Amino acid sequence: MYIKNIKSLPDVSPLTLKTDDISLNLQQKTEIVLNCTYDKEINEVIGDRDIRWQKWIGNTFKDLATFSPPGGLLPFIEREMESLYSNRTELIAPTDGSLTAVLIIKELVCDDVGVYRCWVEYYSNKANRESTSFSTVAFEATKPTEFTVFPNVIKVNQSLTLSCSADVGAPNGSIKIWKLSRDSNVTELIFTSNTSVNNTRNCTFVVTFNYIVARDENVTLFRCSSQNVLNKGAGPSLDLQISEKYGPDEISSVKESLGKSTTIFSCDRCGRFENCHKRNGEAYCVTNPWMAVAISFICLCATFVVVITYFLIKHRKSILGKPSTNSTSSRPERDFSLAGLPPDSPHHPSESGGLLSDWGRPILGPTPDDTEAGYSTPKDVREMKEKGAMLPHPDEHAEITTTCNQEISQYAEVQKKQKSENVYDPDWNENELVNLAL
């Protein structure tokens, strides 16, 4: 209850006033009763028309009804207020048994709310004095009488028109609209009307609010509440359940499936894993099973690539980790036993520094007689390779040596014979002599 009560100061006068604050339901009550009860001493005198009920209008208190003490003039409504109160008010003057000035207002309207003041002027201790007391009248907010939404089939990015009508009471009545999501039990405020200033007869307030539904909002209901200064939080409310929570957006494209047994529509409202189907003229979203298969296949492929990459890297590391034999191994040894060269020969492969020609023949190295350390430069090595290439193969050299030895022996035997003897040998010919000379 909104309470504001101001009484006269005790150090000014012992005369006291008592009034009460009033809050009621305008739909249930038809009148308000304002009582101004005073208590005075014998030496305190109240003159005629010195008891008044006033109301705060604009920025000042204005006289509404005037009363006199017992035995005085009859109470009346001030002329300035007759148009508003004369036909729906009742005034009861104080009596000796009840020092109370009563103002009864009937056929209540919303404008009857506000701050009223009981004002009393009296004479005491050779001076005129005043005493006042306040009474606040407020009307309770009531449950909304009507709450609608259009259209009732909610679609994404569509503007909904919400309309709510309620007796918001007074003072400072207003309407609030809330929404409740499917996955939450907490309401969210989405609209607050302006505070009612120009009150109507019954404090009824009607608001119209346009709301755009966002994608995946999942609203299950809207709520309209009415409240004023008497409510600490949300006041009485009316819920509007969504009969069709969501329908797909308008069809944006169409394609026929295999067999043309089902027509699949592409709708903006449907999720990434859904298709929009239409049946009996109504569109709705259906989960696409092939999307799950595609996702599984992609995951398997990604796993396979990762495993193969892992094994390739591991294999490469194992190869790089082994010591290299190509850079440390020496040139394979060759058998030159058929070359006819003694091991201690300066031209033996072992004495030639292991250098071989392109045909596998040893490149002759320096002999003990070489005083200039021959073949020490790249040019000498190249000449050595060329000379080595001109030598016959070791096998050929051995064969020539054997043939020469045989021919020399035959020639010696011929020389021992007499000169007169016919020493012609058919096997001996010029070619062989030529070979011998060579």
Comparing C-alpha atoms, which of 245, 41, 231 is closest to residue 149?
245
- Confidence check: pLDDT of 220 > 60: yes
Ranges 10-19, 60-69, 103-112, 294-303: which has the least confidence: 10-19
For residue 253, what pLDDT is reported?
Answer: 44
User: Is residue 217 domain-resident?
Assistant: yes
- CATH classification of the domain holding 48: 2.60.40.10
Torsion of CA 92, 93, 95, 100, to 10 degrees: 80
- From its phi and psi, is residue 209 left (phi > 0), alpha (psi between -120 and 50) or beta? beta
User: Is residue 188 domain-resident?
Assistant: yes
User: Is residue 314 domain-resident?
Assistant: no
Ranges 200-214, 262-276, 332-346, 373-387: which has the least confidence: 332-346
Distances (CA, A) of 376 to 217, 353, 364, 389, 432: 91, 11, 12, 19, 41
Domain boundary among 118, 139, 160: 139
Cβ distance 229 to 2 under 8 Å? yes
Q: How many domains does the chain have?
A: 4
User: Is residue 352 domain-resident?
Assistant: no
One domain for residues 20 and 126: yes
Domain boundary among 77, 108, 139: 139
One domain for residues 198 and 125: no
Q: Find the mean pLDDT for residues 340-350.
A: 54
One domain for residues 118 and 188: no
- 174-181 and 187-192 as β-strands: parallel, antiparallel, unpaired? antiparallel
One domain for residues 211 and 124: no
One domain for residues 25 and 91: yes
pTM higher than 0.85 = no
For residue 257, what pLDDT is reported?
Answer: 42
One domain for residues 152 and 133: no
For residue 426, what pLDDT is reported?
Answer: 53
SS3 of 408, please? Answer: helix
For residue 290, what pLDDT is reported?
Answer: 75
Q: Find the mean pLDDT for residues 364-376.
A: 49
Residue range 44-62, pLDDT digits in tens: 999 999 999 999 999 999 9
One domain for residues 124 and 95: yes
Residue range 227-243, pLDDT digits in tens: 999 988 889 999 988 75
One domain for residues 189 and 263: no
Q: Among residues of the chain, what percentage have pLDDT more than 70?
A: 58
One domain for residues 21 and 134: yes
Domain boundary among 139, 167, 188: 139
One domain for residues 190 and 114: no
Give the pLDDT band of residue 296 (cuts 50, 70, 90).
confident
With both helix axes pointing from N to C terminus, report the angle between 430-437 and 394-416 in degrees, rounded to the nearest 10. 120
One domain for residues 229 and 124: no
User: Is residue 362 domain-resident?
Assistant: no
User: Is residue 310 domain-resident?
Assistant: no
Residue numbers of the domain that contains 199: 146-241
Q: Find the mean pLDDT for residues 120-134.
A: 93
Q: Find the mean pLDDT for residues 388-402.
A: 57
User: Is residue 180 domain-resident?
Assistant: yes
Burial 86-105 (b: 16+ CB within 10 A, else e): eeebebebbeeeebbbbbeb
User: Is residue 351 domain-resident?
Assistant: no
One domain for residues 27 and 134: yes
User: Cα separation of 100 and 20, whole Å?
Assistant: 13
